[in-house]
């Protein structure tokens, strides 16, 4: 929004926009859209299914209808096509896990002033939310988002001549999966924490890539690369922003150690312009890292270039790819 666009009305609309955010979060958390995927239903029917309060359920359904996520006809509510496509739990394009991840972050954001004054993350947990539920929403949310973007990234990345790729901190291996699908001679190793293994192995099997992909238990802060100098390419996606500058540099050095001479390193992240005021998403994501991590932040292109140079990379360049949230990719050669 330009400076001239700000006025009391636009400022108050922005200030109150959390009303819609919380309404969406509650609809997803209570699985309203999944319940309505079976067909139109009355508020009383949904209230019974949810074991809720009729007044509260009606208020939520009417607000979701006003937001054009539901359609109300007479006394029945139904999903809109968008809600059916993106907010029903079994839908292929479901984004509800990421919405729940955002929901779990809200208490931290509400206490942002504490982090701004202390420079430390807030100690935040939501009542009744287990660590497993938060982990599931994060991993599944990352999987959903990566599944939508990975096919385009795979086409943008030049992996010609590469036989072996390391997905460094790759979670369930979503990007590596699509790199293998796009490059038939490629094999991939996914390095991540042991808690990620069951989900990664299930995801790899879903794509029939058990013979071309492997998972290695790996803590990138404390473990050394199991096979230094063994890989033709290393992919690091959305890892650096969770680290302070010193640790981010150490991770780039560690990832570079996995490469053969002439190997390629790719860093995918929310990359700030050097003035650090754009893109907007990357600037706001730095606040997300402020309230949630001890030292994490969005990095500028110059900062990532310097990390690559310090790790011994050459021929560093920014690829033309731009993700849906304006993420970008820098690559270098060992």
Catalytic residues: 241
132, burial (CB in 10 Å: exposed 0-12, middle 13-18, buried 19+): exposed
The CA distance from 262 to 265, in Å, is 10
d(CA 60, CA 52): 11
Are 253 and 187 contacting, i.e. CB atoms less than 8 angstroms apart?
no
- Contacts of 193 by beta carbon, 8 Å cutoff, 6+ apart: 217, 218, 219
CA dihedral 75, 81, 87, 89 (to 10 degrees): 90
Strand 76-79 relative to strand 41-42, pairing? antiparallel
Q: Angle at CA 150, nearest 5°, toward 69 and 200?
A: 95
Structure tokens given for 107 = 């208490």
Work out whether strand 187-192 and strand 213-217 pair parallel, antiparallel, or are unpaired.
Answer: parallel
How far apart are the C-alpha atoms of 132 and 207, rounded to whole Å? 25
Element (H, E) at 218: none
- DSSP string over 290-304: HHHSSS---EEHHHH
Token pair belonging to 221: 């802060």
CA separation for the pair 321, 205 (Å, rounded): 29
- Spatial separation of the C-alpha atoms in residues 322 and 149, rounded to whole Å: 10
| Separation CA 1–CA 11 (nearest Å) | 11
């Amino acid at each position: 929004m330009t400076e001239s666009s700000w006025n009391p009305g636009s400022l108050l609309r922005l200030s109150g926009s959390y009303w819609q955010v919380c309404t969406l979060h509650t609809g997803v958390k209570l699985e309203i859209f999944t319940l309505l995927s079976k067909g139109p239903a009355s508020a009383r029917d949904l209230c019974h299914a949810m074991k809720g309060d009729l007044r509260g359920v009606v208020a939520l359904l009417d607000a979701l209808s006003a937001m054009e996520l539901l359609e109300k006809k007479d006394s029945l509510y139904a999903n809109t096509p968008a809600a059916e496509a993106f907010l029903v739990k079994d839908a292929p394009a479901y984004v509800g896990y990421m919405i729940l991840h955002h929901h779990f972050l809200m208490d931290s954001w509400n206490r942002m002033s504490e982090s701004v004054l202390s420079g430390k993350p807030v100690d935040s947990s939501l009542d009744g939310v287990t660590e497993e539920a938060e982990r599931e929403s994060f991993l599944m949310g990352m999987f959903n988002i990566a599944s939508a973007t990975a096919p385009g990234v795979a086409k943008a990345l030049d992996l010609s001549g590469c036989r072996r790729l390391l997905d460094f901190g790759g979670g369930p291996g979503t990007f590596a999966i699509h790199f293998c699908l796009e490059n038939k001679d490629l094999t991939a190793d996914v390095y991540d924490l042991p808690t990620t293994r069951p989900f990664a192995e299930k995801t790899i099997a879903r794509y029939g890539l058990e013979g071309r992909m492997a998972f290695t238990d790996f803590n990138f802060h404390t473990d050394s690369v199991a096979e230094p100098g063994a890989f033709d390419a290393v992919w690091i996606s959305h890892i650096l922003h969770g680290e302070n500058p010193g640790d981010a540099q150490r991770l780039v050095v560690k990832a570079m150690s996995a490469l053969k001479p002439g190997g390629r390193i790719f860093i995918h992240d929310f990359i700030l312009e050097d003035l650090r005021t754009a893109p907007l998403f990357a600037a706001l994501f730095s606040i997300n890292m402020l309230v949630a991590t001890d030292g994490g932040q969005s990095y500028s292109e110059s900062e990532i270039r310097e990390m690559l140079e310090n790790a011994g990379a050459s021929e560093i360049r920014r690829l033309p790819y731009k993700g849906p949230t304006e993420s970008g990719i820098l690559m270098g050669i060992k």
